[in-house]
Structure 1
Amino acid sequence: MMDGFSAAALLTFLCISYIIMCFVKIFKEKSKLPPGPTPLPFIGNLLQIDTNNIVKSLNKLQDKYGPVFTLYFGPNPGLVLCGYKAIKEALIDQADEFSERGDYPVFLNYYNNHDIAFSNGEHWKTLRRFALTTLRNFGMGKRSIEERIQEEASFLIDELTNTKGSPSDLTKYFSRTVANVISSIIFGSRFDYRDERLKKIIDSVYNNFRIMSSMWGALYNMYPGLMDRLPGPHCQMRRNFEDITVIAKECIKHHKETLDPNCPRDYIDCFLIKMKEDIPDPAFYDEALLMSIHNLIFGGTETVSTTLRYGTLMLMKYPEVAARMQEEIEQVVGRDRSPCMEDRIKMPYTDATIHEIMRFCDVLPLSLPRCTSRDMLYKGYKLPKGTHVSLFLSSVLHDATRFEEPLNFNPHHFLDESGRLKRDDAFMPFSAGKRICLGETLARMELFILFTSLLQNFTFKPVIAKEEIKMEPTGSGLGNMPMEYLCCVTPR
């Protein structure tokens, strides 16, 4: 029988052997990939990553290792691509090879490859094609959805007028407005602002975005199996997803009972009609519809509402910019009608400022991950199929070779010498290539109409000195979260 000393010695030997085997495996992997910080077994490069501010950590690593480096998010290696040149080469020049979606457990462990955004192969291609067609048919980029956004803007203006200039948190106001725009496309109608279903949707989306942009979201993506067994705020993510699922299921049930195949009302109807075809496409089934609704709600709500919240904060810090926008709005639109998309070409400063807000706020600093679709050559490295790839979009939006003052807020980044809007291929807040955001056109319409409508009707005043307004995000993971703030909304 083994005594205590012998058992301890054997255990020590096994542990050391395991660690050696891990290091051998790591160095074998790293020898085939671009350089990067040396990882440790199991924890990978966790010591080099601030999980509360991943952007800051990646900027430091980019300075040291250049535009392409290997980083272990937990025990598994992946590439990080930085700067306009490297990301353009991947997403545009080698679009097919970088078109697959990489694992992203904070979403994937709930969606289970049934959705649009996190699936691959023919399932993804079919659902994405269908979603784009359906969104266009229901007005994305057209006058009909523009009128819908204008209508929602009028409801928002009424709500903000009712604050009577008292200090207010704008989060719920912006979230309800933006959620209602995408809801009208998905469900066929908007929600009343007092509807508990709308409150549950925006609370669920906002809270999940906040968790995913914190240390808890970063750790969950690195160690999903372990985190599922540990307590913490990350445990709330599944409950938040379930809240949306309950509402979506009720709406789908009602749509099935009232469906007229000859007169589709919205996205759900169009999906149900595809399911009822004589030879149904295997991509269309109940769970795919449910999870696609999740994608559209999440993607169509939080990024735009966060940009509005962040942008309003910036305009309070730089009131001279807001005043110049208001002057241009006064000249082109006046006070007697709502702003429309036709106004944009006549309002280059306002348009440039909204571009600069999106660039500077950098709401999604890391695009959703990709993986290589086949064995390939990239910058001299042979990457095997399935290599995980993180796209550091923040480094593109702050690329010093593309923007004169990348770390400063300056609307002139998007104005030429004649004062006309200047476009730049490095403007990638919606990513690029085959996985570019489905709702880019819709988001651009919302941001232009909502920002101009707000500044047409109100001046936003901070309750603290503008020098105390901080632009640094309070959380930086999936998204950059602005500081929490109150402001006084004063009618003009």
Structure 2
Amino acid sequence: MLRFLWESISFQMLLVFLVVFLLVANYMKHRKPKHFPPSPFALPFLGQPVLTPTPPKATVQKFTEKYGDIFSIQLGSMLFVCINGLRMVKEVLVNQGENFMDRPEIPIDKEIFSNVGLVSSNGHLWKQQRRFTLMTLRNFGLGKKGLEERIQDECRCLVDVFRDEQGNPFNPHFKINNAISNIICSVTFGNRFEYHDEDFQKLLQLMDEVTSLHGTIMSQLYNCFPSIIKFFPGSHQTILKNWRLMRNFVKEKIDKHKEDWNPSESRDFIDSYLQEIAKDNGGGTFQEENLVACVLDLLLAGTETTSTTIRWALLYMAIYPEIQAHVQAEIDAVIGQARQPALEDRSNMPYTNAVIHEVQRKGNIVPFNVPRLTVKDTVLDGYHIPKGTILLTNLSSVMLDKHEWETPDTFNPGHFLKDGQFWKRESFIPFSIGKRACLGELLARSELFLFFTALLQKFTFQAPLDTTLSLQLKLGITVAPQPYKICAVPR
């Protein structure tokens, strides 16, 4: 009987049956619960193919106009709920923050971090790591004069390497990366690295490549279809290889610390963490696996975000020379050329402070924040958000909102000025908000002010001869400017 049935079924019928079965299975897998946020049309298996790794502003704006401030999007096997507008972003990150506190597992990062460290961990583990890291950063000078002096020292080094270019065109990317990374390295490893240190330059190259390659098609396909794409070559394989090399670099530093470690004396973050591991006897949340992940998180977050913002800042200054001249006039009036900028100058420099904030607003380097995971069934603005749903909080919808900003699409420092004084805006949230906001915000804000003023104090930034600088984006973990060359003309 079975043989008769098999022989009587044509290949075409079998193919149709298989397609129907797969379509039904896909529908059942992605069937949305009642009162779930609306979504655009999605292709079976693929989802919304128009979406790139960082959904374009125009696409998301179109969805917002049609569906409102909450809608869902499907990308391959992953389903997201996108949250837009200041009211709803605050509701998710602050008012109901406890319900959306966790991080989802993103396939491209899962193999490396496995929900450990500072960024990817959840629950008690995350609280312990964050509390310890904040305490340790404060112990090593965060918010104090000691760390400010380290930043000032590094500012002098960066000014020197810029001056060595003698006003000729150069790409400032890795010089800025090295300077910014040295600040977090001095806290984490206990030392800075010279700009010609080959091993450290290799690490910076690996980090930059990882950041950039997260925005490629193959990396996003891996996130959507990991069980299939893992067998293919491509950028996702390079990311995984680079993460392993970066992890090896950190492990070597930890091993060197162990060789001459004095339990009664803490030289840096690694020493302090080793003390916690010893207290825990390796049985609690403080283990070497977590130490490696925390150091990698600090290195990447403490380098890439601030460095990218400063690269945007120099680009904007070269494109808007009149704004650059206004900043330099304020620097000359408040600080002069004889002494180095200090954090206490910030309160007397409203225009410079406004320009830095406008660079962050317009640069908008993490437009969709770090994804969140719903920890329990929750009602959000009348919609049912089941436990385990991934949320994207669209910071762009706040930082570029035409109802919040006078000229949202224009680089305008006046957004942060009122009656000649600096004006703090509620809609300015580049570091996110709530309990999982960036723990390095205080350090980043200090670095941005000191590096930016130190560079503008000594140089005027211009486009190379016969070159038109572009504000075109480069998508990755952060939204960075496309590589550019610039002239740092000594003042």
Question: What's the offset of the Cα at 1:30?
Answer: 5.6
Question: What's the offset of the Cα at 1:303?
Answer: 0.8
For 1:143-222, what aligned pairs fall within 5 Å after superposition?
143-222=145-224
Question: What's the offset of the Cα at 1:76?
Answer: 2.8
Distance 1:407 1:464 in 2: 28
1:259 and 1:269 in contact (8 A); partners too:
yes
1:200 and 1:244 in contact (8 A); partners too:
no
Distance 1:249 1:279 in 2: 19
Corresponding residue for 1:415? 417
1:50 and 1:57 in contact (8 A); partners too:
no
2:53 and 2:215 in contact (8 A); partners too:
no
Query: CA distance change for structure 1 residues 444 and 281 in 2, over 3 Å: closer, same or farther?
Result: farther
Question: What's the offset of the Cα at 1:5?
Answer: 5.5
What SS is found at the alignment partner of 1:428?
A: coil
What SS is found at the alignment partner of 1:407?
A: coil
- The counterpart of 2:297, out of the listed 291, 295, 310, is 295
Corresponding residue for 1:92? 94
Corresponding residue for 1:463? 464
Q: Which amino acid aligns with 2:461?
A: F
- The counterpart of 1:23, out of the listed 6, 27, 49, is 27
Corresponding residue for 2:330? 328
Corresponding residue for 1:428? 429
Query: CA distance change for structure 1 residues 211 and 461 in 2, over 3 Å: closer, same or farther?
Result: same
What TM-score does the superposition give when structure 1 sets the normalisation length?
0.95
Question: What's the offset of the Cα at 1:479?
Answer: 1.9
Q: Does 1:451 align with 2:455?
A: no
1:147-187 CA deviation, whole Å, 9 max, x = no partner?
Answer: 00100011111101111111100101101101111100100
Count of residue pairs the alignment pairs up: 487
Q: Which amino acid aligns with 1:36?
A: S
What SS is found at the alignment partner of 2:317?
A: helix
- The counterpart of 1:12, out of the listed 1, 16, 30, is 16
Distance 1:292 1:259 in 2: 19
Query: CA distance change for structure 1 residues 119 and 379 in 2, over 3 Å: closer, same or farther?
Result: same
Distance 2:25 2:245 in 1: 44
Distance 1:33 1:52 in 2: 23
Q: Which amino acid aligns with 2:480?
A: M
Corresponding residue for 2:473? 473
For 1:234-245, what aligned pairs fall within 5 Å after superposition?
234-245=236-247
Distance 2:171 2:264 in 1: 44
Q: Which amino acid aligns with 1:10?
A: L
Question: What's the offset of the Cα at 1:52?
Answer: 7.2
Question: What's the offset of the Cα at 1:421?
Answer: 0.8
What SS is found at the alignment partner of 1:436?
A: coil
What SS is found at the alignment partner of 1:29?
A: coil
Distance 1:223 1:440 in 2: 34
1:52 and 1:215 in contact (8 A); partners too:
no
2:116 and 2:290 in contact (8 A); partners too:
yes
Q: Which amino acid aligns with 1:39?
A: A
Query: CA distance change for structure 1 residues 465 and 53 in 2, over 3 Å: closer, same or farther?
Result: farther
Structure 1, unmatched stretches of 5+, are none
Corresponding residue for 1:264? 266
1:330-358 CA deviation, whole Å, 9 max, x = no partner?
Answer: 01111111101000000000001000000
Q: Which amino acid aligns with 1:438?
A: L
Question: What's the offset of the Cα at 1:20?
Answer: 2.8
Question: What's the offset of the Cα at 1:359?
Answer: 0.4
1:200 and 1:243 in contact (8 A); partners too:
no
Distance 2:388 2:192 in 1: 41
1:90 and 1:98 in contact (8 A); partners too:
yes
Give RMSD over aligned pairs: 1.8
What SS is found at the alignment partner of 2:370?
A: strand
Question: What's the offset of the Cα at 1:224?
Answer: 2.6
1:139 and 1:145 in contact (8 A); partners too:
yes
Question: What's the offset of the Cα at 1:437?
Answer: 0.8
What TM-score does the superposition give when structure 2 sets the normalisation length?
0.95
Distance 1:292 1:453 in 2: 30
Question: What's the offset of the Cα at 1:98?
Answer: 1.2
Question: What's the offset of the Cα at 1:213?
Answer: 2.8
1:103 and 1:369 in contact (8 A); partners too:
no
Query: CA distance change for structure 1 residues 108 and 44 in 2, over 3 Å: closer, same or farther?
Result: same
1:396-446 CA deviation, whole Å, 9 max, x = no partner?
Answer: 111122111111110010111x21111112111111111111111111111
Q: Does 1:387 align with 2:389?
A: yes
1:349 and 1:421 in contact (8 A); partners too:
yes
Q: Which amino acid aligns with 1:33?
A: F
Corresponding residue for 1:41? 44
Structure 2, unmatched stretches of 5+, are none
Q: Which amino acid aligns with 1:487?
A: I
Distance 2:465 2:83 in 1: 38
1:52 and 1:214 in contact (8 A); partners too:
no
For 1:268-347, what aligned pairs fall within 5 Å after superposition?
268-277=270-279, 282-347=284-349
Corresponding residue for 2:133? 131
Moved more, 254-263 or 171-180: 254-263
2:280 and 2:286 in contact (8 A); partners too:
no
Query: CA distance change for structure 1 residues 43 and 144 in 2, over 3 Å: closer, same or farther?
Result: same
Query: CA distance change for structure 1 residues 31 and 98 in 2, over 3 Å: closer, same or farther?
Result: same
Query: CA distance change for structure 1 residues 4 and 111 in 2, over 3 Å: closer, same or farther?
Result: farther
Distance 1:134 1:312 in 2: 32
Query: CA distance change for structure 1 residues 166 and 235 in 2, over 3 Å: closer, same or farther?
Result: same
2:216 and 2:235 in contact (8 A); partners too:
no
1:211 and 1:234 in contact (8 A); partners too:
yes
